[in-house]
Structure 1
Amino acid sequence: MQKILFIILFFIPTLSFAQTDKTFTYENKVYLPNIKTVLCFNSNKEQSLPVILLNSSETITFAFDDLLAGTKNYWYTVEHCTSDWQPSRISSIDYLESFNDDRIINYRYSSNTTRKYTHYEISLPNYQIKPKISGNYLLKVYLDGDIKKPVISQRFYIVDSQVAVSAEVTNSMQVADRNYKQKINFTINHSIPISNPYQDLKAVVMQNFNSNTAQINTKPAFIRPNQLVYNDLNTNDFWGDNEYRKFDTRSLRYKADNVKDIFRDNELVNVMLFQDIPRNIGAFANQYDENGNFFVRNTDGRDDRTESEYTGVLFTLNAPAPSANGDAYVVGRFNNYTLSNENKLLYDASRKQFYGNILLKQGLYDYEYAWQDKTANTVETKPFEGAFFQTENSYQIFIYYRRPGARWETLVGYVNLSNKPSDRR
């Protein structure tokens, strides 16, 4: 046990300096191991969803760290996308009223940290990059002005509010799922002419801004004058899941929430969390969480962005493997709920324990455990976290409209709601 523990605890990820030609994928993705802590949010509220209004004063804040430190020649551009995140295949002249690309010149070096890094940051729209139509956008960051050297791809949204969306969260209409699932019913009120809502309009609903949960609605249950109702009994059901687990590394001088121990050496600070247990059996336990979000914080320094330490965080889950062929992962918004070798857990079958060490910047983090069943080709949190209707979740509804004869889809409506009376984000 001790041997396994120390191998994992003091494992320091190797950063590769090599950059091979790749192509961008239309998802939130980091292409280089030295890039960490990608942030993208509406500048009005830290870590809010990256959604802004068209032709408004609102901006998107985008930032990331380079653990190779020094200064790199990073460039960026944006591309308009369809509602299902494919290229719109229109000219940049159609969606930009400015230049096509620009270099990131706003950067700062870390200070008072064991591991050195450089923090890069931009704000969109700006004088160089300014979208002029609504819709889905992909921000692309690449090296040395070469689009074939991708660094980061990041999704964000620009809304041209032309419809009003009212929505509610209720129990699933399926009797067997009423204690485990939540259902979203919503209504679109519009004054714009929609001649064929089955073809021209599309609504995308997702839970906790996790794109893996997205459900697409193309057929309203009822069509009324200036109103479309989506309340079909068999659509927009979501597993309630559970409240997120969390830990607090805002200070490395003391052990805060869920931190069992802190180890230091010359190269890296390591944080050991208390061991977790499955929550799929038993009653629902309500607790405050951030719906999967995370916040970079450092109470020992003055600047969260450049004085926060990078720590190796050891996760331990005491649970048997749910099936014979699969892997367990730690997921949250900090890694866009993706499954990668970085957040995959090792399994000790003799002790029925999962282990993993992830390099994370100081702060407050929500997380949960997901199981990828390779035989069934499914990814679920229920085997470790359970599912309860009472769980507080946030839901996002995006309304896309393609006018007859138009060459692209526009984002004409958006709402963010919670199944609790107050928004706790």
Structure 2
Amino acid sequence: MKRIFLFFCLLSGLAASAQTLVTEDDRVFSPVIKSVQLYPVGKESVLPVIALNSSEQLLLSFDEISNSSRTYNYTFQHCDAQWIPSKLTPLEYIAGFQDDRLRDYSYSSVTRKKYVHYELKFPDRSMMPKISGNYLLKVFEFDKDKPVLTRRFYVVNTRVSVAADIVASPNTALRETNQKVNFQLDYTGLPVSSAYNDIKVFIMQNARSPWGLMNLKPTMIRGTQLIYNDVNINDFAGGNEFRRFDTRTLRLNSERVERIYRDTANTVMLLTDRPRDKPNYTFLFDNNGKYFIGNQDGRDARTDGDYAHVYFNLAANKTDREGTAYVVGQFNNYQLNEQSKMSFDNLSNRFYTDISLKQGVYDYEYIWVDQSSKKVDRIMLEGTHFETENDYQLLVYFRPANARWDELVGYRLLNTGVKK
């Protein structure tokens, strides 16, 4: 599937810079594990980035659909800039124990779907990263090589400054649809022997790594400044604002909800969605693909938020003979798989699927895969506009000659500046 994403990027013109194909990713390997979230404590909408040797912590939370608890453990793996495991032993990048137990869990209450809610705050004194870089958190029951879930996080040791801005595409044909990121680095004090070989920068739009761009060479060097502004690099399709729905209450129909059934299980029917590939931009409030757990009818959504079968339906003006539609968002890690794949109903001429989701506010979008070419297209059903409000994450990596790992030495969050 990752090869399909890469193929799409190359065809669509998003991959003006060198591409990376990640090997370690956010995954859920057990069908009973739901609603996995990882973010800095107190900053639910932020990329999981913490400073090296700081008191900052990340919060992992997830549910297991079960009536009884299990003993889960965790560890983390250091990776290079392309998410390939580093050739380091755990002793070289972990201070303290090499794995530890999840001890914080609680049972759901007054919910139709019974589950156990788990939480973990890390790092702490028992287990802490020793070096900066990309890390993969692994939660497992018995064997750390057989995790039930994985999540990426970042440990930064800031040693470079990053200045950046977002402009319209210099390509006149893409000026109304694309957003170009120009930036420059200042590495004063960093022992760089070759700026063309020691430093690389990865850029993501809305934290979606499959569509990210790896910058290997600066456009020009001015003293200790590296400038990346070539007309052929970092030109992203702006996309469209995400669609969204709100299930924080299951007692009445709210945003984008057509009908709610409550019996032995909760069922939520969403309003019919239609293609948005229009030439003119329309403002919609969104959360840039994220989702947030919430329950307006309870006291603590972590344990009294219920699950519901949410039915998506899309009138795409296409059939399953032409291709396949997928519904994706942060809630399923934007993965194109059997769980996000939509079936086609010949009677209604619509694509549909249902996904079990916890109460909250969800962003989502539709992706089309052409039957003949197998091309993955995130524009055909959603459209793309320069005006779309997006976040961009810039991650700066440093690896001097003969070093054995990539350090994360800079991080910058950008926003297109369009007010929501």
TM-score (structure 2 length as normaliser): 0.92
How big is each residue's C-alpha offset from its partner over 1:58-85, in whole Å with a ceiling of 9 and x where there is no partner?
1111111000231112111001001000
* Residue 15 (structure 1) aligns with: none
2:320/2:344 contact within 8 Å kept: no
Distance change (3 Å), C-alpha of 1:157 and 1:148: closer
Distance (whole Å) between structure 2 residues aligned to residue 30 and residue 290 of structure 1: 23
Distance (whole Å) between structure 2 residues aligned to residue 95 and residue 335 of structure 1: 29
How big is each residue's C-alpha offset from its partner over 1:155-198, in whole Å with a ceiling of 9 and x where there is no partner?
00011000011111111111111111111111101211322111
Distance (whole Å) between structure 2 residues aligned to residue 224 and residue 232 of structure 1: 15
Which of 164, 170, 182 is 2:167 aligned to? 170
* Residue 8 (structure 1) aligns with: none
1:261/1:273 contact within 8 Å kept: yes
How big is each residue's C-alpha offset from its partner over 1:244-272, in whole Å with a ceiling of 9 and x where there is no partner?
11101001111111111100121x10011
1:244/1:289 contact within 8 Å kept: yes
Distance (whole Å) between structure 2 residues aligned to residue 323 and residue 185 of structure 1: 40
Distance (whole Å) between structure 1 residues aligned to residue 319 and residue 351 of structure 2: 12
Pair 1:287 & 2:275 matched: no
* Residue 329 (structure 1) aligns with: 326
SS state at 2:236 partner: strand
Residue identity in the other structure for 2:373: A
Shift of 1:349: 4.0
Pair 1:114 & 2:106 matched: no
Shift of 1:323: 8.0
Residue identity in the other structure for 1:352: N
Distance (whole Å) between structure 1 residues aligned to residue 109 and residue 292 of structure 2: 19
Residue identity in the other structure for 2:86: S
SS state at 1:300 partner: coil
* Residue 297 (structure 1) aligns with: 294
1:52/1:157 contact within 8 Å kept: yes
How big is each residue's C-alpha offset from its partner over 1:71-101, in whole Å with a ceiling of 9 and x where there is no partner?
1121110010010000102011111111100
SS state at 2:331 partner: helix
2:319/2:344 contact within 8 Å kept: no
1:95/1:132 contact within 8 Å kept: yes
Which of 403, 416, 419 is 2:413 aligned to? 416
Distance change (3 Å), C-alpha of 1:416 and 1:276: same
1:65-84 matched pairs, under 5 angstroms = 65-84=63-82
* Residue 202 (structure 2) aligns with: 204
1:39/1:47 contact within 8 Å kept: no
How big is each residue's C-alpha offset from its partner over 1:312-362, in whole Å with a ceiling of 9 and x where there is no partner?
101111112378453211111111111121121111245331111010000
Pair 1:389 & 2:410 matched: no
* Residue 184 (structure 2) aligns with: 187
Aligned length: 397
2:203/2:212 contact within 8 Å kept: yes
1:186-335 matched pairs, under 5 angstroms = 186-191=183-188, 192-266=190-264, 268-321=265-318, 324-335=321-332
Distance (whole Å) between structure 2 residues aligned to residue 134 and residue 28 of structure 1: 19
Distance (whole Å) between structure 1 residues aligned to residue 259 and residue 298 of structure 2: 20
Residue identity in the other structure for 2:161: A
Distance (whole Å) between structure 2 residues aligned to residue 198 and residue 69 of structure 1: 55
SS state at 2:148 partner: strand
How big is each residue's C-alpha offset from its partner over 1:383-414, in whole Å with a ceiling of 9 and x where there is no partner?
11011111011100000001222111100000
How big is each residue's C-alpha offset from its partner over 1:111-164, in whole Å with a ceiling of 9 and x where there is no partner?
110000001110111122200110000001111x21243200110001100001
Distance (whole Å) between structure 1 residues aligned to residue 403 and residue 368 of structure 2: 42
Shift of 1:373: 2.6
SS state at 2:173 partner: helix
* Residue 348 (structure 2) aligns with: 351
Distance (whole Å) between structure 2 residues aligned to residue 69 and residue 196 of structure 1: 57
* Residue 41 (structure 2) aligns with: 43
Distance (whole Å) between structure 2 residues aligned to residue 322 and residue 205 of structure 1: 35
Distance (whole Å) between structure 1 residues aligned to residue 279 and residue 260 of structure 2: 31
Shift of 1:281: 2.4
Distance (whole Å) between structure 2 residues aligned to residue 355 and residue 206 of structure 1: 29
* Residue 5 (structure 1) aligns with: none
Distance (whole Å) between structure 1 residues aligned to residue 51 and residue 322 of structure 2: 45
2:246/2:254 contact within 8 Å kept: yes
Shift of 1:51: 0.7
SS state at 2:317 partner: coil
Distance (whole Å) between structure 1 residues aligned to residue 53 and residue 373 of structure 2: 46
2:396/2:408 contact within 8 Å kept: yes
Shift of 1:56: 1.3
Distance change (3 Å), C-alpha of 1:351 and 1:322: closer
Which of 391, 401, 405 is 2:402 aligned to? 405
TM-score (structure 1 length as normaliser): 0.91
Distance (whole Å) between structure 2 residues aligned to residue 36 and residue 51 of structure 1: 22
Distance (whole Å) between structure 2 residues aligned to residue 363 and residue 131 of structure 1: 32
Q: Percent identity?
A: 45
Which of 58, 61, 69 is 2:59 aligned to? 61
Shift of 1:34: 0.4
Distance change (3 Å), C-alpha of 1:60 and 1:129: same
Unmatched 5+ stretches in structure 1: 1-24
1:323/1:373 contact within 8 Å kept: no
SS state at 2:368 partner: strand
Residue identity in the other structure for 2:45: Q
* Residue 123 (structure 2) aligns with: 125
